Every structure is written in C-alpha cells, then in structure tokens.
Structure 1
C-alpha cells in the first residue's frame, strides 16, 4: 500500500518517485476519480482508478484489503495533497497494518506544512487542527481552548466561512493576535498575507478574491510573557471596578478601557486567582 501525495495546485510539484509509483501499481485508489484523471493524463499515466471517499470508505476498505492480500500493489491518493490528512484513507491504512500489509508513505505536497513554512511564525512546535466545527457555539469553544496554546496553530477554512471565522478569532484571541492567511497555495492566484487579525480582517472584507479558493490559516502561538505584562497594566483598573460591580461587568469595562480582549483577561484573572490560592 503506497501513500502518494499529489500536487495541491501546481501539477509540476509532483515528484518523480510519485509518477513512477502511479505507473507501476496495479490500482490507484482516489478520493476523486475525475480530478485524478487530469493528473494522470498530464503525465501520461495509464492505470485503473478506484474510488474511496467519505461516503464509501467503510464499505470499500474491506474490498481493497482483500485486493492487497491477493498480492496487488495499490497507491492511495487524495484529491490534492497528502492522503489521509483531512481526507479519506484512515480506515484503510489502519486495517492494512492489522492485516500485516506493508504501508509505504511518500513525501510530497501538503497545504498545512507549505503554509506554515511561509507563515513567519515559529515552526519547531505546532498543532494542526484541520477545519473548525461548523456551528458557532462549537467553533467558539474550540477557539477558546486554543486561546493560550503556545504552539503555532494551523487551521483549514472554506472561503465562505473565512470572514466569520476571523471575526471569532478576533473576539476570542484578541485583535492584536498575529496570523497568516494563505490562499490557493502553489497556484497562479496564490496569495499569502501576514499581520494582526484586525488588519487582515479589514483587508479581506474589501477584496473579492478571498471569496474563492482553499484557505489555510496560521495563528501565532500565545506569548505568556506579553500577556503577563498587559495583565499588570489592567489589573489595577479591574480591582477598583470589582469593588463596586460584578466581576463579569468589571472585566468587560476593563477590557474596553484598555483595548484588551475580555476572554483573555477573564482567563488571566482566573489563573491568577487560582495561583494565589495555591
């Protein structure tokens, strides 16, 4: 079983080894037969294409495992990029190991890693979160859990949800949080922008080209040192207000006065209180 990455835009990004494997295997399992056919035609590859997608993955896995056990060599490809990364194939790979079938991964294109390398943020530690939940409540909960993540954060997003997601990032992580947004990586319409969430949100609202294409969002990791410095500046105001009103109201007003994110301020205060109790 070969795991073969394919280009995420520019067809010339495919490796010689990938082309060689796609020519030699007995079958190619793909997420999108029509899309993969274009790639094969480009490099004069003639082979049999079989489907594996989110709808038939469980059903087809048993069939493909049987084919592998019969001695066939199979290549797994996704619509674009590295298979299994936010794409079908997990069950097939897992079952291949269970059945003692050799799994051979090839290196190649991946939007998350390509965008990360151009983000201008630290890359020695990062977390990949894929697509955020579709509902607003679940999305807010997920972003809140990532608010104090020190590692660089990688997200995928659809152009239709981009503005809404960036508004939530601004609300929860603060308008000064730095991010990089990458659109249509490796294609001629490639566009990579870096700056504060406030600046980039204002920019993409005005540019219609951000309403199309595949988007990768890279969020700079939380800096606890900066957070602590800011906290010291606002704590005094908060403590004065807390004496005359409810804590939630005091946090809201303090955040507004200091231009600070209320969610971050709330979490910082709670952590400080717990530390004082300890």
Structure 2
C-alpha cells in the first residue's frame, strides 16, 4: 500500500488528523528532503523510519520501493510542501505502483493553487493549471501564447527570481491592461494577495526597496487577448 500524504505549505496546523495517524502507522515515509521533512516529523513526534525519494533518484530507487511494498509493507510519500506529484516528485512512483497493481490512496490536503484560485475572485468553473513555466524565454513565451488562446482562467506557480520576467512576457503578449492576481506565500506569516492590471503590479514589484522573496501563485484572467506586435 502506498499513501500520498499532503503536507502543510506553510502553517503546520494544516496537517490533518488522518495524515498524522497514517504517518505514525506506516512502515516507511518517503521524503523529498531528509533534513526538511525530519524537522516536520519531529514537530509532530513522528518516529517512523524515513527514506529519501526525489526526482534525482526516482529512476533507480523505484524498483527497491516496489519490492518493499510487495513484501507487505505500507509506505507514505510526502514532499517538502503540498500534495506530492503536483509540481513535485511522485508521478513516476504512482505510475509504477499502478503498473504493478499496488493499491494507492491519496489523502486530501494542502496545495497552494486551490486557495489562491478561490481568493482570486476570478471565474474558476473552468481553469487551466500548468505548474511552472520553462526557465527558457522562448519556450516560456510559446507556452503562454498557446495558453492565452483559450478564454479561461490560467493558474501557475512562479519562483521569486523569475516572477518579473514572466510578468513582462505576459504584458508583452496581452498588453498593460491585462488583469492578474498574485498570491504570495499561501498560509504563511507573510501571505499577501495582489490584484489589478499587470502594468501596475509590475511597478509595485519593481518599486519595492527589497529583493522579491517568497513563492507565488500567478492567476491570469481568462479574457486575455494576445496583441499582434
């Protein structure tokens, strides 16, 4: 049995009672980062054995994990924050478990884009989630062009050091009046939400006297019209 366990994206109180019970009951917890997860597990006094599972070692560690599960062990997978497999390691392991007829259960829990969508105030009866855009400008712009052809809300994650580049790319494609929402550090102490025209939000970020910090959820209103330059 493999359990997929969402962990808090900021506030430690967001870990559910059920998640705590299962993390205490399983034989092994697979973690993305040993030191990071050890701090979280120690906070909850969870003594379960842990093993590192990341996108860097998954190809050669998966056969070993499958062997352990087939011996009758119960394992849980957690990542540094949020739900495993959503812009985090987990997909290949889940796929391999399905292929080998191993039972999988994913618990409901924290993920950053859902609360960001809800508080954005934008239409969410239909939306597209894409995780992180490419670090390469040409790939990023081509992806945005394709996404913005469809008139629905678009939600993505972006890191602080690439945020302005992505916003400028969107402004170049859609114009300065494009409405967006930025949600920073969901559930954490410095959580903030910025709403408005993209040119104003870019100016706000550029005028800050300090470096842009934190993780962002970027939400684009679905009425985007790509400008032909």
Per the TM superposition, whether the score is higher than 0.5 is yes
> Contact 1:158–1:213 (CA<8 Å) still a contact in 2?
yes
- TM superposition shift of 1:265: 4.4
Which segment is superposed worse, 141-150 or 42-51? 141-150
**Inter-partner Cα distance in structure 2 for 1:192 and 1:210:** 17
1:212 aligns with 2:213: yes
| Alpha-carbon separation, structure 1, partners of 2:24 and 2:209 | 40
Match of 2:100 in 1: 99
Distance in 1, Cα, partners of 2:209 & 2:57: 36
- Structure 1 regions of 5+ residues with no counterpart? 228-262, 267-278
Secondary structure of the 2:120 match is coil
CA distance in 1, matches of 2:179, 2:210: 21
1:145 aligns with 2:125: no
- Taking only aligned residues, the RMSD between alpha carbons, in angstroms, comes to 1.4
Of 200-209 and 84-93, more deviation after overlay is shown by 200-209
- Aligned twin of 2:51: 50
**Contact in 2 for aligned 1:148/1:221 (Cα 8 Å):** no
Which of 249, 255, 264 is residue 227 of structure 2 equivalent to? Answer: 264
In structure 2, the residue matched to 1:240 is: none
Q: How does 1:59-74 map to 2 (within 5 A)?
A: 59-74=60-75
Which runs of 5 or more residues in structure 2 are unaligned? Answer: none
Deviation at 1:120, TM superposition (A): 0.9
* Deviation digits for residues 177-205 of structure 1 (CA, Å, limit 9, x no counterpart): 11111111111111111111111111111
Cα shift at 1:147? 2.0
Q: Is the CA contact 1:31–1:53 (under 8 Å) kept in the aligned structure 2?
A: yes
Length, aligned pairs only: 228
Deviations along 1:32-76, one digit per CA (max 9) or x if unpaired, are 111111111111111111111111011111110111111000000
**In the alignment, is residue 90 of structure 1 matched against residue 91 of structure 2?**
yes
* Residues in 2 aligned to 1:190 and 1:22: alpha-carbon distance in whole angstroms: 28
Distance 1:215 1:64 in 2: 33
Distance 1:156 1:162 in 2: 9
* Larger RCO of the pair (alpha carbons < 8 Å, separation 6+): 2
Higher strand share: 2
Q: Kindly report structure 1 stretches of 4+ aligned residues shifted beyond 4 Å.
A: none
What pairs up with 1:218-257 in 2 under 5 angstroms?
A: 218-222=219-223
Which structure shows the higher helix fraction? 1
